[in-house]
């Protein structure tokens, strides 16, 4: 087994069932802390970089600014209204704008997870999207994983770029910055982060040999048909066939296919 395969085996976990969060605020806070620590422990992030938010009634819970994850407690997680007002004296992550804007624009999403994982960020530094070099690129919700243009962290301009890159998608890179994944639960967010980072690592290694060939539109259509036919990853006997509600207008046959990992919002945390 190669080192790449060993690292992926260490990180990889069974794809979780797609479901609403369905936890109390206390449970969500604990889950946010646990997920952030897991992200760093699996070398998918480091230090105080990255951030995580979860939808709640009227707003979101989001990681605080400047607190190392191994010192972060559940009470440190910040509650914010959709208008950007904080309900505690903690300072929210400097990236709260794109968290707020994504959750406002995407009713199919409960969780926004941002990391500075090594391989995805390496591609983002080169402003390279992840093309269809492997069929699992479909975990990002489409035929590629886009790279949003650069803008300074914490700005509305960055948030605007992010929203455009995530239109009809569940993941994107941020130029010279990092990676964002969307999900319906904390578990699914970690699963998607692992898969996208692994795809990025494969792509970086493949580029060492040369620009790799890409799967065709017909190839990706077949992937999406298999997802639908096999109920791939649904975990509950029903296919995950619903694309994001605000997906781009169909443009050709490929746009008619499912976005694996996207699911309609069936509820929010209380």
The predicted-structure confidence for 80-101, as pLDDT tens digits, reads as follows: 988 888 877 778 999 999 999 9
Q: Are strands 147-148 and 171-174 parallel, antiparallel or unpaired?
A: parallel
| Bridge partners (DSSP) listed for residue 59 | 56, 81
Q: Give residue 269's pLDDT band: very low, low, confident or very high (50, 70, 90).
A: very low
Q: In the prediction, which pLDDT does 7 show?
A: 56
pLDDT at 168 over 70: yes
What whole-number distance in Å separates Cα of residue 258 and Cα of residue 223? Answer: 10
Catalytic one of 18, 79, 95, 197: 95
Q: Are strands 78-81 and 171-174 parallel, antiparallel or unpaired?
A: unpaired
Three-state DSSP class for residue 269: strand
What whole-number distance in Å separates Cα of residue 62 and Cα of residue 99? Answer: 8
* pTM of this structure: 0.79
Q: What is the mean pLDDT of residues 98-106?
A: 97
Residue of higher predicted confidence among 124 and 267: 124
The dihedral over CA atoms of 211, 191, 20, 269, expressed in degrees to the nearest 10, equals -110
pLDDT in tens, 190-247: 999 999 999 999 999 999 999 999 999 999 989 988 888 887 655 443 333 333 333 3
What whole-number distance in Å separates Cα of residue 52 and Cα of residue 183? Answer: 11
Residue of higher predicted confidence among 164 and 249: 164
What whole-number distance in Å separates Cα of residue 24 and Cα of residue 30? Answer: 10
pLDDT in tens, 28-41: 999 999 999 999 99
Residue of higher predicted confidence among 61 and 25: 61
Q: What is the mean pLDDT of residues 73-79?
A: 93
Three-state DSSP class for residue 222: helix
CA atoms within 13 A on the CB side of 140: 29
Asked about 95 being catalytic, the answer comes back as yes
Least confident of 139-143, 211-215, 257-261: 257-261
């Amino acid at each position: 087994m190669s080192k790449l395969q060993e690292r992926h085996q260490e990180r990889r976990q069974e794809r979780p069932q797609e479901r609403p969060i369905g936890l109390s605020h206390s449970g969500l806070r604990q889950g946010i802390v646990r997920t952030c620590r897991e992200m760093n422990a699996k070398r998918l992030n480091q230090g105080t970089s990255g951030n995580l938010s979860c939808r709640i009634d009227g707003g979101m819970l989001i990681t605080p600014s400047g607190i190392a994850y191994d010192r972060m407690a559940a009470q440190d997680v910040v509650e914010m209204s959709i208008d950007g007002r904080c309900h505690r004296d903690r300072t929210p992550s400097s990236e709260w704008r794109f968290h707020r804007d994504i959750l406002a624009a995407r009713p199919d999403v409960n969780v926004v997870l941002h990391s500075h994982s090594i391989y995805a960020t390496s591609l983002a530094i080169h402003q390279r999207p992840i093309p269809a070099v492997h069929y699992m690129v479909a975990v990002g919700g489409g035929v590629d994983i886009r790279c949003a243009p650069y803008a300074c962290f914490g700005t509305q301009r960055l948030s605007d770029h992010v929203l455009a890159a995530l239109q009809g998608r569940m993941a994107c890179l941020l130029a010279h910055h990092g990676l964002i994944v969307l999900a319906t639960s904390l578990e699914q967010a970690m699963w998607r982060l692992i898969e996208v980072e692994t795809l990025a690592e494969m792509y970086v290694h493949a580029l060492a040999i040369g620009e790799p060939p890409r799967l065709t539109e017909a190839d990706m259509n077949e992937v999406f048909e298999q997802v639908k036919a096999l109920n791939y990853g649904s975990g509950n006997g029903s296919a995950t066939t619903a694309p994001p509600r605000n997906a781009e207008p169909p443009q050709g046959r490929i746009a008619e296919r499912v976005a694996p990992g996207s699911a309609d919002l069936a509820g929010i945390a209380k």
